[in-house]
Amino acid sequence: MPAHRIVFANEKGGSGKSTSAVHVAIALASAGRRVAAIDLDTRQRTLGRYLDNRAAMAKRLGQELPGARYDTFDPARGMPIAQRIEELADGMDVIVIDTPGRDDDHVRAAISMADTLVTPINDSFVDLDLIGQVDAETFKVTRPSFYAEIVWDARKARGKRDGATVDWIVLRNRLQHLEARNMRRVAAALGELSKRVGFRTIPGLSERVIYRELFPKGLTLLDLGVIGAEAGMGHIAARQELRELVAGLQLPAMEPTARIAEPA
């Protein structure tokens, strides 16, 4: 059975895309899945550097950490992106694909290969504008945006190529920073837009310092027991967010309620 392809894509930076991609990859590996990952952002390579840091930490600790086979895509090598993704995914259950915050041919090719497309957004009208335009007075959606059209074209290409569908998920990050009225307005606009362009929404990761602090070590919320760190209330809440995120993906390779291993 071919690896399930999860593509994290958003043209806007700062949405928590790479952080979400890394944590999903490690969560699935911790649950016993064979995971590959590829970073299409050749310049910034946040996912690649995160996993480099993880490999270095495992070496320092002298123990194995759940991880992924990974690479950073380099167009200069002359290999088509589809071929590199297929090579890396060979023998894996899941491949996580992190894309740069821009539109290019490689990103569009990756989206057209997705089984699950995840678009993380900060829960605001600024980020919502990426998917659909909203009337300033009524907050009603007036029309889908350019990015929604890109996804629509990619989904059509996928359907034409092999008859498969792309499950498009909008991941609502940093929800706790919104005041209640604005949150309801964004939620209503997303609900209206989801019916028009065909995505579903799930809650994502909050804006927690924890995630940024773990990056240099290459660790995730599932590794705190490895380094003997105490799990505070913030860590416990963040781990629950991660569980809900992975369950919300509803991956066919694992049950939606599959247990993510609890750190020691």
Q: What's the domain range around 159?
A: 4-249
pLDDT at 237: 81
- 41, part of any domain: yes
What's the mean pLDDT in 99-107? 91
The answer for residues whose C-beta is within 8 angstroms of residue 138's C-beta and 6 or more apart is none
10: domain CATH number is 3.40.50.300
Mean pLDDT of the 88-100 span: 96
Average pLDDT over residues 242-264: 67
Could you tell me the end-to-end alpha-carbon distance of the chain, in angstroms, rounded to an integer?
A: 33
259 within domain boundaries: no
pLDDT in tens, 109-161: 999 999 999 999 887 788 888 888 888 778 788 888 989 999 999 999 888 88
| Burial zone of 67 (CB within 10 Å; 0-12 exposed, 13-18 middle, 19+ buried) | middle
The first and second tokens of residue 165, run together, are 């569908």
Query: Does pLDDT of 15 surpass 90?
Result: no
Kindly state whether residue 256 falls inside one of the protein's structural domains. no
Task: Report whether 36 contacts 94 (CB < 8 A).
Answer: yes
Condensed to tens digits (0 to 9), the pLDDT of residues 26-64 reads 999 999 999 999 999 998 999 999 999 999 999 998 988
Structure tokens at 216: 């240099």
3-state secondary structure of 134: strand
pTM value is 0.90
**Mean of all residue pLDDT scores within the chain:** 86
Q: What whole-number distance in Å separates Cα of residue 151 and Cα of residue 153?
A: 5
Angle, CA 21 vertex, CA 35 and CA 33 arms, to 5°: 20
Higher pLDDT, 212 or 20: 20
The single-letter code of the amino acid at 159 is G
Q: Is 108 among the domain residues?
A: yes
d(Cα 249, Cα 117) in Å, to the nearest integer? 10
Whether 146 is covered by a domain: the verdict is yes
* Confidence label for 211 from pLDDT (cuts 50, 70 and 90): confident
On whether residue 135 sits in a domain, the answer given is yes
Higher pLDDT pick, 169 / 178: 169
Structure-model confidence comparison of residues 232 and 86, the more confident one = 86
3-class secondary structure, 141? strand
Structural domains in the chain (count)? 1
Contact 61, 29 (CB under 8 A): no
Does residue 169 sit within a domain? Answer: yes
